[in-house]
Amino acid sequence: MDLFSFEEFNLNLPNANVTYCAGFLEPNTADRYFQIFLKELNWQHHDITIFGKKIPQPRLTALYAINELPYSYSNLTLIPKKFTLELLEIQQKVNAHTGKDFTHCLVNLYRDGNDSMGWHSDDEKELGIDPVIASVSLGGVRSFQLKHKNIKDQRFKLDLEHGSLFLMAGSTQHFWKHQLPKTKKQVAPRINLTFRTIL
Ligand SMILES: O=C(O)CCC(=O)C(=O)O
Ligand SMILES: [Fe+2]
């Protein structure tokens, strides 16, 4: 039996459904997953095209899924590998908590404070009308930011901690963008698992 408990809180952002639970994974379990993923996942360093110029993405990525459907974003098409045992364990726990059936997991590795992800919404059409994104964080704590697309002063930031679960659902991707900015602080490497459903 899992005696470890966690609390979920709703950020109460307008036009969004965003929740955060610290301690979704127990710290020792999160440590173990971090070490295994760092060593064993199929890390790729892709180029992306910005204003016609090819540049390396400022992070490493890997795509896993329960099926063979590709996922395309930022002019990249990624073919998934089959979920590993540990990814499947986490997917089951996330499914049980959310009542969803996630098919894909896009994994990001931020090696240090120079690695980042710029402002975007996860609104590719293969994610469906109101995408649900479940994001599990492992390793170094990084600041995550959200900004409303139409209301200028609606901005929010929070630290995504080791073992936490961050959920974006409902109309969040229609009305908000999010990013993981670079930081000058000394930060440990961070692995982020983003579970998605591709139709
Ligand atoms: O690293 C994070 O917490 C954000 C990742 C993200 O936004 C994405 O993969 O779409
Ligand atoms: Fe995202």
The ipTM estimated for the assembled molecules is 0.99
Q: Which residues of 89-109 are buried (b: 16+ CB within 10 A; e: fewer)?
A: ebbebbeeebebebbbbbbbb
pLDDT, average across residues 20-37: 97
The pTM assigned to this predicted structure is: 0.95
Asked if 139 contacts 188 with a C-beta cutoff of 8 angstroms, the reply is yes
Q: What average pLDDT does the segment 161-170 reach?
A: 98
Confidence (pLDDT) at 62: 97
Q: What domains lie within the chain, and their CATH numbers?
A: 8-196 (2.60.120.590)
Q: Please indicate whether residue 117, judged by its CB atom, sits closer than 6 Å to ligand 1.
A: yes
Does position 135 have pLDDT exceeding 50, yes or no? Answer: yes
Mean pLDDT over residues 40-57, rounded? 91
Phi-psi region of 122 (alpha: psi -120 to 50; beta: other; left: phi over 0): beta
Spatial distance between the Cα atoms of 63 and 42, rounded to a whole number of angstroms:
8
Note whether 32 and 90 are within 8 A (CB). Answer: no
End-to-end CA distance of the chain: 33
Distance 130 CA to ligand 2 centre (A): 14
CB of 160 sitting under 6 A from ligand 1: yes
Provide the pLDDT confidence category of residue 2 given band limits of 50, 70 and 90.
low
Assigned token pair, 75: 């002019």
Q: Which two tokens stand for residue 81?
A: 């590998």
Q: Whose CA is nearest to atom 9 of ligand 1?
A: 194
Our answer on whether the CB atom of 192 is closer than 6 Å to any ligand 1 atom is yes
Residue 1 has a pLDDT of 46
In the structure, what pLDDT confidence band is assigned to residue 138 with cuts at 50, 70 and 90? very high
Q: Is the CB of 144 under 6 A from ligand 1?
A: yes
Which residues are in the CB-under-5-Å shell of ion ligand 2?
122
> Mean pLDDT throughout 156-160?
97
Largest CA distance in the chain: 53
Token duo for residue 51: 């204003």
Residue 157 CB neighbours (<10 A): 12
Indicate the pLDDT class of residue 73, thresholds 50, 70 and 90: confident
Cα 18 to ligand 2 centroid, rounded to whole Å = 13
Cβ neighbours around 155 below 10 Å, total: 12
Output the pLDDT for position 51.
Answer: 83
Average pLDDT of the chain, as a whole number: 95
